[in-house]
């Protein structure tokens, strides 16, 4: 039974005694364009430097300046880096949203706020820390134009004092963030200090949330998934990049450009071993990628759902003409204005069969920044090995948020360009045909212009095994069957699922991508809070490993397919590979409110479908299968 409001208020009116160490989430509510990102990243990194596992998520509007944004930092001694549903500590800097931000907090939460907002009148079950930011910033910063930025560093100083972050960590993080800009560093250090001093003199710690040094982050990096993927592209030896800007994918190519300029310019001549073109749209981006791959370059593009929509026709051409292409899809919420800067796993079904005719595509499904890096490299290998488009499916949460990770390992596999015809191969084969399956794996040898090998005329659907024009039904069927064979070869070749089977578990959880982080935490909650044991199955690529999937379903009574879209796209796609008896065991957990999926939503949903009574949260009860989030 949910507790009543009054019961809660009574319980939390007095400060909570029990300290909560290294296990809370802190949210900074600001206006975008106010320059709070530096302060947020300094805070994030200083927690990392303390040895405490941490993650940072930015919820921002599709706007350049003036609309609300929320940056959430989660510290977790157990290493959970998925989104935590509840906010424990709020920094309310935005007058527009402050009231609602405060009203939606869980009882017992703490609020640092700009004093003139008078938020303490709103609730009696929270801990309030009023701070006169304007008064504090004036002596620190004489330049009125800079004050708006420097104000943010003051809350870092306040938080350092209230949460127990040694200022040396903050200073070090500041140095990393600002680099060699001595003047800026000094100004921000002064602001940090002003915040700290104010808190020391005027604020009495009343909330239970605290940070204490641990040793869980030695050697860890902080990175966004897009940046990790860019490093993967760099190390994969990509040479031609064509793109069209779109949030949340732009930062992938933008960071790639930075890395290429640094690491891929010939030392002697000063000339580039890469070309990057900002194309006129996504149709042209993919056209350029296809042209470049056809002519033998390692080539890629990066986009999001709207761009994928435009790439549909060319994707089909590349599939039929058998041209490699690497396409990053950093998924976001639906079309046009509204929620383009929010996260979703909404493109899975569409991309799996993108284009007209019989088409199906390889997709890689990274869930961590490390996998963004490794799968970026893998994507190029697969695209050239299978001579087909390969999609790498990130989402905004993974691509644009700050994740903690071990450092990336240098690739051990040498670059393999796939089946390119050489004079030796030609001698062995005797006769070459562009689409002849000589090895039985569905993959034919190709030639590229300028390589001195036989030329052929590349077309879409109408060709025979020799690559000659043909509209004959038997040629078409033979070719389509070979393409299907090639796809089956790929099924055994793509990254394997991660499986953890728990003895005695009747329930299995299946998911992919960023849902992973909510799933692993939810499994702990299910086990510890409700004694529900679960096994775990994370898909890492499409085509799915149908054997493993079938075995996993057979070993459990009920399978929850967890994903971040309304229509259970992953579940629908799985059905294609499964018998009706196995399909009957599948249940669906869907989260689609634009925020990253969180463990509590998964736990509540699974429990309610398992027949448990689930507590009301924020005035709402989890509805089986379709919470849509909160």
Partner 1 sequence: MTTPLKVNRIGLEPQIYKGSKTTLCAGCGHNAISERIIDAFYEMGVDPRRVIKLSGIGCSSKSPAYFMGGSHGFNAVHGRMPSVATGALLANKKLIAIGVSGDGDTSAIGIGQFVHLMRRNLPIVYIIEDNGCYGLTKGQFSPTADLGSTLKTGVVNDLPPIDTCALAIELGATFVARSFSGDKKQLLALLKAALAHRGTAMLDVISPCVTFNDHEGSTKSYAYAKDHDDPLEELSFVPFFEDISVDYEPGSTQEVTMHDGSKLYLKKLDEVFDPTDKIAALSRLREIARRGEFATGLIYFEPDRDDFLAQLNLIDEPLASLPPSRVRPGQEALDEIMDSLR
C-alpha closest to that of 541 among 512, 565, 499, 582: 512
Question: Per CB under 8 A, which region of 65-73, 119-127, 296-304, 425-433 contacts partner 1?
Answer: 296-304
Residue 9 is a binding residue for partner 1 (CB under 8 A): no
Q: What H or E segment, with its residue span, contains residue 140? A: helix 133-140
Q: In what order do the strands lie in the sheet with 275-278?
A: 275-278, 240-243, 299-303, 325-331, 389-395, 362-364, 541-542
Binding mask 384-413 for partner 1 (x = CB under 8 A): -----------------------xx-xx--
Residue 290 is a binding residue for partner 1 (CB under 8 A): yes
CB nearer to partner 1: pick between 415 and 477: 415
Residue 449 is a binding residue for partner 1 (CB under 8 A): yes
Tell me how far the alpha carbon of residue 580 is from its chain's centroid.
32
CA dihedral 198, 204, 206, 211 (to 10 degrees): 50
CB nearer to partner 1: pick between 123 and 264: 264
The whole-angstrom separation of Cα 197 and Cα 206 is 17
C-alpha closest to that of 565 among 525, 511, 608: 511
The least CB distance from residue 434 to partner 1, in Å, is 10
Subset of residues 566 to 585 that bind partner 1, contact rule: CB under 8 A: none
How many residues in the shown chain lie near partner 1 by CB under 8 A?
A: 70
CB nearer to partner 1: pick between 17 and 271: 271
CB nearer to partner 1: pick between 223 and 518: 223
Structure-block tokens of residue 538: 């994370």
The only residue of 17, 180, 183, 271 in contact with partner 1, by rule CB under 8 A: 271
Residue 296 is a binding residue for partner 1 (CB under 8 A): yes
> What are the distances in angstroms from CA 218 to CA 70, 84, 171, 370, 409?
28, 24, 18, 16, 16
Helix, strand or coil, per DSSP, at residue 194 = helix
Secondary structure (DSSP) of 217-263: -TT-EEEEHHHHHHHHHHHHT--EEEE---TTTHHHHHHHHHHHHHH
Residue 443 is a binding residue for partner 1 (CB under 8 A): no
> For 301-406, where are the alpha helices, taking DSSP H only?
305-310, 312-321, 348-352, 369-386, 396-400
The least CB distance from residue 74 to partner 1, in Å, is 19
Residue 457 is a binding residue for partner 1 (CB under 8 A): yes
CB nearer to partner 1: pick between 439 and 471: 471
C-alpha closest to that of 603 among 619, 624, 620, 585: 624
Residue 269 is a binding residue for partner 1 (CB under 8 A): yes
User: What DSSP character marks residue 551?
Assistant: H
Helix, strand or coil, per DSSP, at residue 372 = helix
CB nearer to partner 1: pick between 160 and 286: 286
Q: Which residue has the tokens 């399909």?
A: 583
The only residue of 298, 361, 516, 590 in contact with partner 1, by rule CB under 8 A: 298
Residue 288 is a binding residue for partner 1 (CB under 8 A): yes
Structure-block tokens of residue 133: 């930011």
The least CB distance from residue 234 to partner 1, in Å, is 7
Residue 295 is a binding residue for partner 1 (CB under 8 A): yes
Residue 469 is a binding residue for partner 1 (CB under 8 A): yes
Structure-block tokens of residue 140: 């620190």
Subset of residues 305 to 334 that bind partner 1, contact rule: CB under 8 A: 313-314, 317, 321
Residue 171 is a binding residue for partner 1 (CB under 8 A): no
104 by Cβ neighbours in 10 Å (0-12 / 13-18 / 19+) ranks as middle
Question: Dihedrals φ, ψ of 236, to 5°?
Answer: -75, -10
Structure-block tokens of residue 197: 């001093």
Subset of residues 219 to 248 that bind partner 1, contact rule: CB under 8 A: 219-223, 231, 234-240, 242
CB nearer to partner 1: pick between 131 and 318: 318
CB nearer to partner 1: pick between 79 and 237: 237
The whole-angstrom separation of Cα 199 and Cα 161 is 6
Residue 466 is a binding residue for partner 1 (CB under 8 A): no
The only residue of 8, 67, 257, 279 in contact with partner 1, by rule CB under 8 A: 279
The only residue of 35, 147, 185, 259 in contact with partner 1, by rule CB under 8 A: 259
CB nearer to partner 1: pick between 33 and 449: 449
Tell me how far the alpha carbon of residue 627 is from its chain's centroid.
21
Q: How many residues does the chain have?
A: 630
The only residue of 139, 430, 440, 450 in contact with partner 1, by rule CB under 8 A: 450
By CB under 8 A, name the binding residues for partner 1.
Answer: 219-223, 231, 234-240, 242, 259, 262-264, 266, 269-275, 277, 279-281, 283-299, 313-314, 317, 321, 407-408, 410-411, 414-415, 447-452, 455-460, 469
């Amino acid at each position: 039974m949910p507790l009543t409001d009054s019961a809660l208020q009574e319980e939390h009116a007095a400060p909570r005694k029990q300290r909560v160490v290294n296990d809370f989430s802190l949210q900074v509510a600001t206006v975008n364009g106010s320059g709070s990102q530096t302060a947020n990243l300094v805070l994030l990194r200083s927690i990392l430097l303390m040895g405490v596992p941490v993650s940072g998520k930015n919820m921002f509007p599709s706007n350049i300046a003036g609309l609300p944004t929320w940056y959430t930092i989660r510290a977790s001694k157990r290493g959970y880096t998925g989104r935590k549903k509840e906010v424990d500590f709020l920094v309310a800097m935005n007058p527009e949203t402050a009231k609602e931000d405060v009203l939606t907090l869980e009882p017992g939460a703490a609020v640092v706020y700009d004093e003139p907002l008078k938020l303490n009148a709103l609730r009696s079950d929270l801990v309030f820390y009023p701070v006169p930011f304007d008064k504090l910033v004036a002596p620190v910063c004489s330049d009125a134009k800079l004050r708006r930025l420097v104000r943010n560093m003051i809350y870092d100083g306040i938080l350092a004092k209230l949460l127990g972050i040694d200022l040396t960590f903050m200073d070090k993080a500041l140095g990393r963030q600002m680099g060699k800009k001595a003047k800026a560093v000094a100004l921000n250090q002064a602001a940090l200090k002003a915040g700290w001093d104010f808190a020391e003199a005027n604020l009495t710690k009343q909330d239970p949330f605290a940070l204490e040094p641990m040793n869980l982050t030695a050697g860890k990096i902080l990175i966004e998934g897009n940046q990790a993927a860019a490093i993967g592209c760099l190390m994969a030896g990509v040479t031609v990049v064509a793109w069209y800007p779109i949030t949340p994918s732009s930062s992938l190519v933008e960071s790639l450009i930075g890395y290429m300029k640094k690491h891929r310019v010939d030392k002697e001549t000063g000339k580039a071993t890469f070309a990057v073109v900002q194309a006129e749209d996504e149709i042209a981006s993919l056209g350029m990628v296809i042209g470049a791959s056809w002519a033998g370059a390692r080539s890629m593009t990066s986009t999001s759902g709207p761009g994928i929509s435009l790439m549909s026709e060319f994707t089909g051409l590349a599939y039929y003409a058998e041209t490699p292409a690497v396409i990053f899809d950093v998924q976001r919420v639906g079309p046009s204005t509204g929620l383009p800067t929010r996260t979703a796993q909404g493109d899975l079904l569409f991309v799996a069969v993108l284009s007209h005719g019989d088409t199906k595509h390889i997709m890689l499904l990274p869930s961590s920044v490390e996998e963004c890096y490794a799968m970026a490299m893998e994507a190029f290998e697969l695209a050239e090995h299978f001579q087909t488009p390969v999609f790498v499916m990130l989402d905004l949460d993974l691509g644009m948020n700050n994740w903690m990770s071990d450092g990336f390992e240098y690739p051990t596999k040498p670059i393999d360009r796939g089946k390119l015809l050489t004079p030796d191969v030609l001698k062995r084969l005797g006769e070459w045909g562009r689409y002849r399956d000589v090895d039985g794996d569905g993959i034919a040898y190709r030639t590229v212009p300028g390589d001195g090998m036989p030329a052929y005329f590349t077309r879409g659907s109408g060709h025979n095994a020799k690559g000659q024009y043909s509209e004959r039904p038997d040629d078409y069927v033979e070719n389509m069957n070979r393409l299907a064979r090639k796809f089956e070869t790929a099924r055994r070749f793509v990254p394997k699922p991660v499986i953890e089977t728990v003895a005695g578990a009747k329930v299995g959880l299946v998911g992919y991508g960023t849902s992973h982080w909510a799933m692993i935490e939810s499994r702990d909650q299910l086990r510890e809070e409700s004694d529900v044991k679960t096994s775990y199955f994370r898909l890492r690529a499409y085509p799915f490993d149908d054997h493993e999937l079938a075995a996993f379903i057979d070993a459990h009574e009920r399978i929850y397919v967890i994903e971040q879209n309304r229509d259970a796209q992953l579940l629908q796609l799985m059905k294609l590979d499964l018998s009706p008896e196995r399909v009957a065991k599948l249940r669906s957990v869907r989260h689609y409110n634009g925020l990253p999926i969180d463990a509590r939503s998964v736990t509540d949903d699974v429990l309610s479908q398992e027949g448990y009574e689930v507590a009301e949260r924020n005035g709402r009860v989890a509805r089986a299968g379709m919470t849509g989030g909160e």
